[in-house]
Amino acid sequence: MRGGAIAILAWATVLLVLFIGNWIWDAKPVNAATAAFAAVVTYATGVALWLARREALRPGPPAPRSEPESVPQSSLAAVLIGLSVGTILFGLAWANFLVYFGAGILVLSLGRLVLELRSERATRRRLLGEEEPR
């Protein structure tokens, strides 16, 4: 984790400088908006990483991770989410019933995603519990 946000924020800053140049010489509202969006997204990524863990802004090599994590091996929910988004958009161009069908699958797969995440969290808690006596 250590230092993870630095590269992203550095890159965002170079972007910002270039976009300011672009704005000075080519002040079109569309260009200003797209450029601002890109800069904001990149900065936001860096800031989110920093908020998750402060060491993201500390330079130097990362230390070993010690906390256990449970690793998912498969996810039907993720597959269905991808496919249902595809079905909804396909339906917009092809046939309206597919939009409703896709939306139904999306709701179900989001439900399944919640279950998957809960069981993952439970596994993690169990692992933490097992580790504690040591």
Which residues are near other proteins by CB under 8 A? 1-8, 10-11, 14-15, 18-19, 21-22, 25-26, 28, 30-31, 34-35, 37-39, 41-42, 45, 49, 52-53, 56, 59-79, 81-83, 85-87, 89-90, 92-94, 113, 116, 123, 127, 131
Give the Cα separation of 1 and 6 in Å (integer). 11
> Least Å distance between CB 42 and other proteins?
5
87 within 8 A of 98, measured Cβ to Cβ: yes
Which CB atom, from 2 or from 101, has the smaller least distance to other proteins?
Answer: 2
> Least Å distance between CB 91 and other proteins?
9
> Least Å distance between CB 62 and other proteins?
5
88 within 8 A of 98, measured Cβ to Cβ: yes
Give the Cα separation of 104 and 76 in Å (integer). 15
Structure tokens, 36: 């601002």
Angle between helices 96-131 and 76-94 (to 10 degrees): 160
> Least Å distance between CB 32 and other proteins?
10
